[in-house]
Structure formats: structure tokens, C-alpha cells
Amino acid sequence: MPVVHMVVVARKLAALTVVTCLTLACSRARAPEPTASTSTDAAAPTAEVTPDAAAPVTARFVAPPPEVCEASPEVHVHVGPRAPWSGAPLRVLAVTDKRVAGELVVETEAGEVLARTDVRMGGPPYHFAVEIASAPPGTVRARLRQSECEGGVGETTRDIKVAARRPWAATKAPADVAWQVRGSWTREHENVFSAWIERLFDAPLDEAPSWAALHDVLRDPKRNILHDYLGAGEDSTHAQKIRPDCADLPYFLRAYFAFKHGLPFGLGECTRGGGGQPPSCKGLVSNLDPPAHSKPDAVGTFGIFLRTTVADRAHSGSARAPFDDPSSDFFPVPLTWDALRPGVVYADPYGHVLVVAKRIPQTADHAGILLAVDGQPDGTVSRKRFWRGNFLYANQPELGGPGFKRFRPMASARGSVVRLGDADIQKRGTWGELSHAPGKLGIEAFYDAMDDVLSPSPLDPSRAMTEILDALEEQVKARVTSIENGRKFLASGKPTATMPEGPEIFETSGAWEDFSTPSRDLRILIAIDVARGLPARVARRPERYAMPAGKAVADVQRELEAALTAELARRSVTYTRTDESKQALTLAEVVERAPQLEMAYNPNDCVELRWGADPKSPEASTCRAHAPAEQRARMAQYRAWFKERRRPARK
């Protein structure tokens, strides 16, 4: 019988209060921080896309795989904490690439059931998870029993030793390295990494969870399956603060997982690109290199490694390195349901980075959904759904290799860390598929392909419109918070925010970074275009939509246009004017003000102007602040970027 593995994880996930974050490009200018502090910032359908550079991309739909029933499916096993003891939560998670139905049970040798669940999450990888608040000392058995099916019942077990008291935990920092390596990345590790990411950021679909900092998530034992995994109190409320921006976030998550498991970790030194050239990478800085600074304890040294070695080197150019760059930290994956698993990174061509957190299969009630998390310059981490307004795409050589990518596996060899190249990844097939095909897609072909992946069955056009308007409304509401922060900045009487030159308006530091909204506004303008263009999109791709019987495509388009107009007028947001009175705006008004929003990102302007109010209107009568004339003149020069819905290339 094959060896069976099991993994330990938390079961319940807490829903957190929504906190809206600023959305500037994450590639901010970064100043080194003081080194004296430890503070740091049910089964899914699959579509296989075969792109053709000269023809529109179409998808071949594959039926969902049947549930398997084997005597011993490959289930990865991990125990948390690493050395379980009575008095600490025992978390058990059974993870597999195979779609199985069954029940995970943890019981004593006497047969007393400590925990059980038949809830399967993810897919793939799929996982079952339970938590025992305090397991009794001795041996407990975890058992994944598959449902009865043709051929019998499959069952796999794992015995777990639970100590009577807390074991000694090695907390002394290792000499000359950030942490020691005890193994190399395997497919089992990758599956646990995906399950960990999914559970870490899980929340009901109707919520938009946001956290003030990543450490708030990691300190939550109901979310973090690796909470105090080392038994050293490393995730207590007194542990180091972790505040990544969007470019840091995937690296911080990967490094955290590697540190807990004693796995190799590294990142290249990459350029940001510019002057018509894409980013490029060289070398590899790893956890086996001498850290810039160290602490007496291992956890403190890890924290310094994050906020110096990692944070000083990771930026948006790192994720945008061309697909064929052998020194890049990521490899591109195909646009299939299986490949876009939690932990996969999305590299925005204009400088933003997101991490896939969850996929929700298409149902009769909603389209397929892909959720991702991103970091912001202020350290906020929030969850977003995939759509054109959140995931920008462009295929221009000077921008590098945008799109979905996975971390290259790392291995240790003769005291150093090495990254696996494309040939090794393709040869072994251990870490999933590698594909350069998505890099050949044009803009429309990319979004068409993603539609096909997430929703293989035709969509109801009215429901598709509702979901797009939900996403647009979500973005406009997020902007309300950003603009309110700018209003408070003006009210504080602080000096005028300095406006950067040229493309730097999207990626600078200081008050401009904190209170301006060029990136957010560009995305909202794109979102407005998507909403306005849906009726025409349905007419362009009628095969992707469940067209009402007996109606011509042109009739459906007209009905959608009328429904769109009515729905935009029905939905509204409210912002606070300069005098603190409230002003309501319908989404229809926001959409109509798209031309004004092309020059509404300057934090030195009053809030009324930033919402596109006519300067002579009653709405703007409370305005008390205007950006300097020199700044307004430069904004007029830069307006073409927003009018054309494009981020300028770096100089």
C-alpha cells in the first residue's frame, strides 16, 4: 500500500470587518527600515486553452473528473504543531490532488472520536480539515474514509504521537543563515501551500474581507494552519509585524511557509524595466546566505530577513520578468482551472501583483469566480474577485511577462539554494504544467479565455451584467474611503502633497502615495468601460451566453442596454463633502463623470472635484482647496494616459 500522508490545519474561519484600502501601484520607492526593530512592514470544470497568434482563442471544455474510490489515494500529511502536545490545538488536514468524497475522523486508540468532518474544500488540491482544541497524550489516529462506491471503500490512516507536555522548541538563531534547510519542495508541499493560502484568506463570498496588516491574519489561529507550528510562540501578538505591499506579499507568504517547514527560499535581483526594455533578473539571494542582520532568536532573525533581504529586493518588476528569463522567480502556467490554484501569482503589466486565494465553480446561480488577495502601500491586505477592472492585462514586450505564474521550486545543493529551470519543471511534472502559450494572447483573447475557464457553460446575460455591476459598485465604494482619507489630509492643514513627475505619479512615496488615486481611478475607468461594453460583448460572443429563446441577438443587446441604464440609476454611493455634509451619487452619475475622473486623482484638490463635480454646481459650492496651477497643468499633459486607459511605460 502506498505511503499515505496527512496534514494538520485549522477548521473554522473567522469573518473579519471590511476595511477598504488604498489602491496605488505597489512598486513604491522604499527606504531601508531601522534594523534595531523587529517590525516589518465541489469539483471544478476545466477548460484547456490552445491559443493561436493569428486567430481568436477558443476553449475545449472538459467534463468534471469522476469521484475516485481507491484503497489509498495520495493524501499528504503534516502535523501541526510540528511536535504535537496535549494543551496545544491539534490541526489535521488531509490534502490530495484527487477529487474524493468521504469523511476525515480523528480518534483515540480506544475509539473515542475527537473530531470529524465530511466537508471537502478546494479543488485541486482538495482538502478536509479538523481541529482538536487539546488532544489527549498518547497516540491518536487520523482516518480519511471514502464514501462507498463501486469497488468498495477506500480508507487511509495516520498515527500521530501527542506528547504529555510542551516539548522543547529550538528558538536560537542559526549561525550565518536566515534558517536551516531540512528538505526540498515537493508536490505535497505545494498542495499544502495552496490549502494554507485558501484557508488563510477564506470568507463568505458576499463579504469583501480586508486586514490592516498581514500579521493580523497570521496571528489568527482559526485562519492560519501554521499558527505557532514551531511551538515557539512565533505567531503570538508580540511577534514581529509583517506589512507587505503588493509586490512583497507573494514573497512574504512563500518565505513564511518555507521558514516554518525548513524549506529553501530565494529570490532574484531584478530590474523594473524601462526605456523600452522589460524587467530582467540575475542571481539568487536565499535563506542560506548570511542575513544582513540577525537576532539571538530564530523568529527575530526571520523577521529581519523579511523586511530587509526580501522587502528590499522584491518589487513589481520581479513578477513581470519575461516568461523565458531563466533567472526569474516564477514560471508561467496555462489558463486552466487546475493550474490557477491558490498561491499562484498574477503579475499586472502595469505594476500590481495579486495572489490567487480561492476558486468557486460555476453554478446555475452564478458564474465561476476566482478570488485573489493583494497588498497595498499602507500594509493593508484585501480580497478581490477576478474581472477586467481588477486584473489588468496587456501584451507588450517592454512590459515583460504579465499574467498567472507559480513560484519556481527551490532546492538546496552543497550548502546553497538553486532554482529549478523550465526543463526540470517540465521533465518532472511534479509542480504542475508550465506553459508560455498565454503570453501569445492579445487583450481580448486573454479575457475571453478566462471567461471560458471560469464559466465553461453559457452565462445568463442578465446575471453576467449584475455581477459586473456588483464589481463596479465595489470599486466605487472602495474609492469613497480613499477620497475620504484625502479629505482628512486636506483638513489637517498639512503642507501640499508634492506631485511626482511623469509615470512616477503611479509609484511614489509620502503623502502622494497615501492620498492620491491615479491607479485606482484608472482601474475604475476601465471598470466603467467594461460595464458599458457588456451589451456589445454579449452581441460579439453570443455563444458564451444563454440567449433567451426566440430572441435575436440585437434584441437582447437592446434589452441589456436598457437594463444597464436602469440599474446604474438605482445603485448609489455617498461621500462626505468638504463641510462634512453628505452627497449621494448614483452609479449612473459616476459613469457620466468618467471624463472628469481622468483628472480627479490629486489629493491637493477638494473632495468635490475629485468626484467630478461641476465647479459651478451646488455640489461644488463647499469646495475649499485646489491643486497648484503647475500640478494641474501637468495633469492635463498626463490626461491621455487615463483617456486611453493605459499606464505609461517606465522611463
Give the model's confidence band at 69: pLDDT under 50 very low, under 70 low, under 90 confident, else very high.
low
For the segment 129-142, the average pLDDT, to the nearest whole number, is: 95
Is the pLDDT at 293 greater than 80, yes or no? Answer: no
Q: Mean of the pLDDT values across residues 101-106? A: 90
Say how far apart CA 180 and CA 60 lie, in whole Å.
Answer: 45
pLDDT at 64 over 80: no
The two counts, helices (H) then strands (E), for the chain are: 16, 22
**Predicted confidence (pLDDT) at residue 172 exceeds the cutoff of 80:** no
Which grid coordinates belong to 244? 507587505
C-alpha cell at 618: 451646488
% of the chain with per-residue pLDDT over 90: 60
Query: pTM of this prediction?
Result: 0.81
Pick the more confident residue, 6 or 452.
Answer: 452
Residues 372-385, mean pLDDT to the nearest whole number: 88
- pLDDT tens track for 302-333: 999 999 999 999 998 999 999 989 899 999 99
> What band does 370 get if pLDDT is binned at 50, 70 and 90?
very high
Mean pLDDT of 618-623: 97
Is 80 exceeded by the pLDDT of residue 24? no
Contact 392, 526 (CB under 8 A): yes
CB 152 within 8 Å of CB 159: no
What is the strand order of the sheet 155-162 is part of? 113-117, 102-108, 138-146, 155-162
Residue 81: cis peptide before it, omega within 30 degrees of 0: yes
Whether residue 52 contacts residue 404, with contact meaning beta carbons closer than 8 Å, is answered with no
**pLDDT of 70:** 55
- Whether residue 148 has pLDDT greater than 60: no
Would you place residue 8 in the very low, low, confident or very high pLDDT band (cuts 50, 70, 90)?
very low
**For residue 516, how many C-alpha atoms fall within 13 Å in the half-sphere facing its CB?**
28
- CA separation for the pair 237, 248 (Å, rounded): 22
**Which residue in 250, 353, 380, 230 sits closest to 301, CA to CA?**
230
DSSP for 438-484, written as a single string = GGG--HHHHHHHHHHHH--SPBPHHHHHHHHHHHHHHHHHHHHHHHH
Q: Which helix (H) or strand (E) holds 331?
A: strand 330-332
Q: Could you report the per-residue pLDDT of 556-596, keeping only the tens digit for each?
A: 999 999 999 999 999 999 999 999 999 999 999 999 999 99
**Distance (Å, rounded) from C-alpha 448 to C-alpha 349?**
18
Dihedral pair phi/psi, residue 264, rounded to 5°: -70, 145
pLDDT (0 to 100) of residue 596: 97
Is residue 178 within 8 A of residue 309, CB to CB? The reply is yes
Question: In a 10 Å sphere around its CB, with 0-12 CB exposed, 13-18 middle and 19+ buried, how is residue 287 labelled?
Answer: buried
Q: What pLDDT, on a 0 to 100 scale, did the predictor assign at position 17?
A: 31
Round the average pLDDT of the chain to a whole number and report it. 85
Measure the CA–CA gap between 21 and 33, rounded to whole angstroms: 23
- Across 344-354, average pLDDT: 91
Looking at the chain, the whole-number percentage of residues with pLDDT higher than 70 is: 86
Q: Provide the 3-class DSSP secondary structure of residue 242.
A: strand
- Specify the DSSP class assigned to residue 548: P
Helix (H) or strand (E) holding 142: strand 138-146
The three grid cell numbers given for residue 266, joined into one nine-digit string: 530565494
CA-based radius of gyration for the chain: 25
What proportions of the chain, in percent to the nearest 5, are helix, strand and coil?
30, 20, 50
Three cell numbers, residue 82: 510540528
Per-residue model confidence as pLDDT tens digits over 268-288: 999 988 878 999 999 999 999
Amino acid type, 542: P
- Give the tens place of pLDDT for each residue, 471-507: 899 889 989 999 999 999 999 999 999 999 998 998 7
Mean pLDDT of 133-154: 79
> How confident is the model over 507-537, as pLDDT tens digits?
777 899 889 999 889 989 999 999 999 999 9
pLDDT at 152: 52
* Residue carrying C-alpha cell 542575513: 291
Q: pLDDT for 402-442, tens place per residue?
A: 999 999 999 988 889 999 888 888 887 677 789 999 989 99
Question: What is the rounded average pLDDT of the residues 359-385?
Answer: 89
Q: Are 248 and 314 in contact (CB under 8 A)?
A: yes
Residue 62: the pLDDT is 37
Grid coordinates representing 68 are 475516485
Give the separation between CA 611 and CA 269, rounded to whole angstroms.
40
Does the structure show a pLDDT above 70 at 390? Answer: yes
* Helix 518-540 / helix 461-491 crossing angle, nearest 10 deg: 170
Identify the band that residue 57 occupies on the pLDDT scale cut at 50, 70 and 90. very low
CA separation for the pair 298, 234 (Å, rounded): 9
CA distance 577 to 623: 8
